[in-house]
Structure formats: structure tokens, C-alpha cells
Amino acid sequence: MFSLILPFVLAVFAATSVNGHGYVQDVVIGSTHYTGYLPYSDPYYNPPPERIIRAIPGNGPVTDLSLIDVQCNGYSDGGVVGSQPAPLYAPVAAGSAVALNWTTWPDSHVGPMITYLAKAPSDITKWQPGTDAVWFKIAESGKTADGKWAATDLLTATNSIYTFTIPPKLQPGQYIIRHEIIALHAAFEYPGAQVYPSCIQIEVTGSGTAFPSSGLVAFPGAYTSDTPGIVYDVYTNTSAYPIPGPAVWTGGN
Ligand SMILES: *[C@@H]1O[C@H](CO)[C@@H](O)[C@H](O)[C@H]1NC(C)=O
Ligand SMILES: *[C@@H]1O[C@H](CO)[C@@H](O)[C@H](O)[C@H]1NC(C)=O
Ligand SMILES: [Cu+2]
């Protein structure tokens, strides 16, 4: 039985008074739904519900890109360390679609949506990548030629569901999906860009053999104040938006 304790009630009040922001609240793979890590209720259950998404402290962003927090969200100096493993992982056949259901995203928080993978060298429910260069980008969406942003325009148009595909030829194994929105409403200077990362544990199945042979990046590390797209004035800049990070790896397609 779950026991619900008083702080839950307090947390719900606190949550409703916090401005917007958000996180991935639900993951859909095939016909299977996985509830995301819910930062305003999960910590108050004993035992806590078991999730495939790594714990986050709340719906707020990370702005100091040098912190481990930029990997999976979390307090580097608090009880929840970014990238703390989750107890479960979801099986996914290579080539399948993964649908990520975000909480309602604030209109003001425009920016790109970017998705990385990292392959766990051992049991993913115990693995913390730390500052190792293990991440490669598999999907990205920024600003369209007619000025529509992945977040919020395109995300809202799909009922807050962002969908991407696991590369069909990717070699099997356990992977962390690192998916993020980078909100740019204050990114005219550094620090300003707000990173909202979410780390989802999966086990990819199939007979693929593809894996990137170079170009893996680290979080923290991949983004700094000098990375194109980290400082960008969304209110005045009508040029194309350079999505931060490495090129998308297409070797598994
Ligand atoms: C997204 O998740 C929320 C909360 O579980 C749910 O109410 C909503 O229907 C989901 N959206 C879609 C399009 O499935
Ligand atoms: C607009 O953004 C691009 C890409 O970041 C940058 O190179 C350019 O200098 C910016 N333009 C202005 C006027 O700030
Ligand atoms: Cu916000």
C-alpha cells in the first residue's frame, strides 16, 4: 500500500503557485503508457512509484550549463542528484516511435527541442554517466523558416506530444534518452537560456549494428556560453536559429 503524507498536500499548493515551466509527464511506446517522474507527488509516497524517467526536483530549468544538473535535471547540491538512476526501463524495438507528453508548455518559453542517446556500459538502473562523453544527438527541431518554434508552436499544435524515432539500425542495448527543451525567452545574454532536460531509460531491441564511431559529447560540456544557439535574442533576431550541440547522427537510419 502507498502511504500519502502531509507534505504531498503542501507540495500541491506549492506546485500550483509556481509559474509554468514543465517536464515530460508521460511516455508512450507502441500501446504502452509509462507515467513520467512526477516531482510534485512521487517523492511523497512511501514507497515511491517506480518510473522509467530519472528523478527531477521540479518543473524549473537549469541555467548554469557547467553543472551536472544540465544532464538530467536535479540539484547538484541537494538530495536529488542529476542523473540519479530510475528503477525501471522500457523495452523499445529499434525503429519504433517514442511519444513524449509534456506538461502544458508556456507560450513565452520558445526554443528548440533536442534528443540525445547514451548507451549504458552496464546496468542502466545503476549507471550515472557523470562527465563522460557518451551522448549523441538523434533528433532536433528548432525554428522553421516562417518563424515557428519547436516549443511552443509545434508542441502545442500536437497537443504537447513530441514524437521521435529510435534509429532503426541502432545496436541493441540499454540507453538513456536525454530529451530537452531549451527555452530562449531570456537567452539574449548568458546565463539566460533555460534547459529542461528529461532522462528516460530504455532497452533497445533488434539486430542492428550501427553506433556512432566518434563525436560523442558530455553533459555538462556540450553547451557553454559560446555554443551557437545558447545566446540568441528571440525578440529581435529574424535569422535562422542554430540548434546547439553536435550534428544529428544519421548512421542508424
Ligand atoms: C498527457 O498526459 C496527461 C496526464 O497524464 C493526460 O491527461 C493527457 O491526456 C495526455 N495527453 C495525450 C495527448 O495523451
Ligand atoms: C542572430 O543569431 C545568429 C545566430 O546565433 C547570430 O550569428 C547573429 O549575430 C544574430 N544577429 C543579431 C543581429 O544579433
Ligand atoms: Cu519558466
Average pLDDT over the chain, rounded to an integer: 91
Enumerate residues lining ligand 2, CB below 6 A: 228, 232-233, 237, 239, 242
Q: What is the pTM of this model?
A: 0.92
Name the E strands within the chain.
3-4, 24-29, 32-35, 45-46, 90-93, 97-102, 113-119, 135-141, 161-165, 173-183, 194-205
Give the Cα separation of 180 and 143 in Å (integer). 15
What would the mean pLDDT of 225-245 be, rounded to a whole number? 97
17: enclosing H helix or E strand = helix 6-17
Question: What confidence score (pLDDT) does residue 81 get?
Answer: 58
Contact 209, 247 (CB under 8 A): no
Query: In this structure, is residue 138 part of a structural domain?
Result: yes
Domain that holds residue 167: 7-205
Does ligand 1 lie within 6 Å of residue 101's CB atom?
yes
92-101: pLDDT as tens digits: 999 999 999 9
The answer to whether position 252 is within a domain reads no
For 151-163, what is each residue's pLDDT tens digit?
Answer: 999 999 999 999 9
- Classify residue 46: in a domain, yes or no: yes
CATH number of domain containing 173? 2.70.50.70
pLDDT at 75: 63
The pLDDT tens digits for 19-65 are 569 999 999 999 999 999 999 999 999 999 999 999 998 999 999 99
Q: Which of 239, 241, 243 should be mutated for ligand 2, with most atoms under 8 A from CB? A: 239
- The domain tally of the chain equals 1
Residue nearest to atom 14 of ligand 2 (CA): 237
Tracing cell 510534485 back to the chain, one arrives at: 40
Residue 140 has pLDDT above 70, yes or no: yes
Q: How confident is the model at residue 15 (pLDDT cuts 50, 70, 90)?
A: very low
Ligand 1 midpoint to CA 130 (Å)? 32
- Answer whether the bond into residue 163 is a cis peptide, omega within 30°: no
- The answer to whether residue 182 is domain-embedded is yes
Residue 238 alpha carbon, nearest atom of ligand 2: 1
Diameter of the chain measured on Cα atoms: 55
Considering the domain boundaries, does residue 97 fall inside one?
Answer: yes
Radius of gyration of the chain (CA): 18
Residue 163 is assigned to a structural domain of this protein: yes
> Does the N-terminal peptide bond of residue 228 adopt cis geometry, omega within 30 degrees of 0?
no
* Percent over 70 (pLDDT), the chain: 89
Residue 225 in any domain: the answer is: no
CA atoms of 170 and 42, how far apart (whole Å): 33
Quick one: CA torsion of 51, 56, 62, 65, rounded to 10 degrees?
-70
- 118: helix, coil or strand? strand
Residue 250 resides in a domain: no
Q: List, as one string, the DSSP characters of 157-210.
A: HTTTEEEEE--TTBPPEEEEEEEEEEE-TTTTSSS--EEEEEEEEEEEESS--B
